[in-house]
Chain A
Amino acid sequence: MWIWNLLSLTFVQLRRHPVRSMLTLLGVIAGMFLFVTIEIMQNSLRRSTEISAEDATLVVYRQNRFCPFASRLPQSYEQKIAKIPGVREVYPIQIVVNNCSTSLDVVTFRGIPKNKMDSFQKNFTLLSGSIDSWKQRSDAALVGRILAERRRIKVGDKLDAAGITVSVAGIIESDNLQNLNVGYLHLDYLQQASRVGLGIVTQFNVLVDRPEQMESIAHAIDDTFRYDQDPTSTRPEKAFIAQAIEEVALLIQSGRHVGWAALITVFALVSNTILLSIRGRVREYAVLQTLGYENIHLLWMVVLEGMMLGMLGGLVGLLGSASLVYFGHFTLSADALSVVFTVEPKTLAIGLVTSLLLGFLAGLVPTWCVTHQNIVDNLRAE
């Protein structure tokens, strides 16, 4: 029960030192904003590139080509790949992108055959529009949620990118983050509109029966076309993404150090505030000890102060960061593949727990100091 009383007392003390509390809070907010933003970027990268046991999609690309403009494969490979044992489905895909380099606003069009859409739509859920209207219009597009929000488009609108104009037939949501930043078009329409020509695709997405067969099937596909005019390079989809966005990934991963630096800054700031506050209140703590406050009471008073500053600052910082990412609809793309930044509750929870923990730790050492000093000496302190 006393802990609630001390919590209330600590809150009153913070409220009645508004300048000190606000300045510390501002520092914590800035630090936690930075830390959580970087955590969101790291997690989004992880979700885009980490291979899980359930992944069963291979990407067949033109060997020694790394950009969708350069990868050209005959669409006729589809039949040969489909015959390889263990292959469940083959999707020939043409990719057109409005910007092949690293960019924050890349629009990627993916063309898939109209007759494959019924099986392909298992990869996403429709938020609005319909598959039928996509099938009925040759220039129709199913647009990923993030792309739609970033470009502020809805069903029935026109989307113009990379010199191609499409009509939005549906908005899609997907666990596969790549699907959130693309527009799915009819393959033949995209081939013609992009002047690539019919019969040529950028890649094949190959769905296998069992994930453990991925490696052997990849070898089998590459062996099949080894001596063809257009040899292939086949990898699991996530590995393919990881390689394609390697430089983007390096950029994001290097941000981890900035995140840690932000955490250290928050820790140092809260510690310093508490330390200065305690130094200024040595006599106050001695008075409380005289009144019967035990070490545990003083420990909680100081620690609660740190935790409140950490929690309040952390909460505002992470809400700011989450809002920025959520409403900013940021994606970082390279070679037509994107890291789509999405906010996960887990990341926010980690941010909040981290800020609470930092506040807790920041109060420990100063409390130990104050509780192990002589009361009589501290009562005489200026």
Chain B
Amino acid sequence: MKSQSSPIIISCRNLTKSYYKGDTVVTPLENLDLDLEKGRFLALMGPSGSGKTTLLNIIAGIDSPTSGSITINNQEISRMSRSQLTRWRGKSIGYIFQLYHLIPVLTAYENVELPLLIQKISRSEREKRVLNVLELVGLEDRMSHFPRQLSGGQEQRVAIARALVTDPMILVADEPTGDLDAASAQNILSLLRQLGHDLHKTIVMVTHDVKAASYADLTLHLEKGKLIESSPL
């Protein structure tokens, strides 16, 4: 996963996550090591319970490891407090959910604008950025629509625009095509790959789908919390 041209942006060392479920200790991640170069598109694959979503959430800073370290862009986020992590996440991560998680009473424009409302930028700059990303995902003519007025594929495009609007260095996507039909899924994956390439974003995507994984630069297979295989494509 290393090349001579790009620096490492995500580095995990002995990453372990465990928690109690009743009296049983569950360990979705165990002593995982990972290095990912900047600008790469990584697909995480594996069966349910293999720890891929846990790894994605730790990379996104919404979950924390029990032990080990994770360093992103030279910042060890595993040492950050909850509030530091929230601030870091707002600037550095764009999260794309499987079920889009748009706010139903807000329009596409207002949903995309959400991450910018808490940042120190002017209204005109905010508007410029929102329109720019909506244009990038091809939804400039749907900006006044509410989520219920959009198709699944369009909703996911809005979610991608929302993830991009803060210009984060990393996009994380949790099964972004899991709720879409084949044609829409293909569109979304093409869009993700193109955006990653054009905007030089590092993308980490969780998927069950081999076809979806084929859009990534490399694929990691996890099983029982351990990396069992990596396959550059």
A10–chain B nearest beta-carbon distance, Å = 11
Q: CA of A16 to CA of B111 in the docked complex: distance in angstroms?
A: 14
Contact of B118 among A2, A12, A284, A290 (CB under 8 A): A2
* Residues of chain B from 55 to 96 with CB closer than 8 A to chain A in the complex: 57, 60, 62-63, 83, 86-87, 89-91, 95
Tell which of B89, B106, B119 has the most Cβ of chain A within 10 Å.
B89
Q: A288 near B: Cβ within 8 Å?
A: yes
The answer to whether B26 has its CB under 8 Å from any CB of chain A is no
User: Which residue of chain B has its CB nearest to the CB of A293?
Assistant: B118
Whether A294 contacts B95 by the Cβ 8 Å rule is no
A125 part of interface (Cβ distance < 8 Å): no
| A16, B86: Cα distance in complex, Å | 28
Q: What's the least CB distance linking A61 to chain B, in Å?
A: 67
The answer to whether residues A376 and B63 also contact, given A16-B105, A287-B97, A292-B166 and a CB cut-off of 8 A, is yes
In angstroms, Cα B97 to Cα A324, docked, is 54
Please tell me if A251 contacts chain B, counting CB pairs below 8 Å.
no
- Decide if B118 touches A283 in the complex (CB within 8 Å): no
Beyond A5-B117, A9-B117, A13-B105, is A292–B90 a contact (Cβ under 8 Å)?
yes
A379 and B97 form a contact (CB under 8 A): yes
Taking CB atoms and an 8 Å cut-off, the chain A residues in 314-328 that contact chain B are: none
The answer to whether B89 and A292 have CB atoms under 8 Å apart is: yes
The reply on B110 being an interface residue by CB < 8 A is yes
Assess the A287–B101 pair: CB atoms within 8 A: yes
Contact present for A12 and B110 (CB under 8 Å): yes
Size bin of chain B's contact surface: 20 to 34
Residue of B nearest to A374 (CB): B63
Chain A contacts with B in 278-317, Cβ cutoff 8 A: 283-284, 287-295, 297
B57 in contact with A292 (CB, 8 Å): no
**Contact count A vs B, C-beta below 8 Å:** 65
What A residues does B110 contact at CB under 8 A? 9, 12
Is B21 positioned at the interface, with any CB of A under 8 Å from its CB? no
- Output the least CB separation between A56 and chain B (Å): 61
Chain B proximity mask over A1-44: 1 for CB below 8 Å, otherwise 0: 11001100100110011000000000000000000000000000
Q: Is the CB of B105 within 8 A of A17?
A: yes
A375 CB contact (under 8 Å) in B62, B87, B90, B103: B62
Contact pick for B106, options A1, A5, A12, CB 8 Å: A12
Interface pair B105/A291, CB less than 8 Å apart? no
Structural contact, A2 and B105, CB atoms closer than 8 A: no
A292 with B103, Cβ < 8 A, contacts A1-B120, A2-B117, A376-B63 known: no
A-side contacts of B105, CB under 8 Å: 12-13, 16-17
Minimal beta-carbon separation of B44 from chain A (angstroms): 16
CB-defined contacts of B95 to chain A, threshold 8 Å: 290-291
Q: For A1, list chain B residues within 8 Å (CB).
A: 120
Contact, CB under 8 Å: A288 / B60: no
**Which of A9, A12, A291, A295 is B90 in contact with, Cβ under 8 Å?**
A291
The distance in angstroms between the C-alpha atoms of A297 and B91, with both chains bound, is 15
A292 with B120, Cβ < 8 A, contacts A284-B103, A376-B62 known: no
16 A-B residue pairs with Cβ-Cβ distance under 8 Å, sorted by A, are A2-B118, A6-B118, A9-B114, A16-B106, A288-B114, A289-B62, A290-B60, A291-B90, A291-B162, A292-B115, A293-B118, A294-B86, A294-B87, A297-B118, A376-B57, A376-B62
Mark B residues whose CB is within 8 Å of A: 57, 60, 62-63, 83, 86-87, 89-91, 95, 97, 101, 103, 105-106, 110, 114-115, 117-120, 162, 166
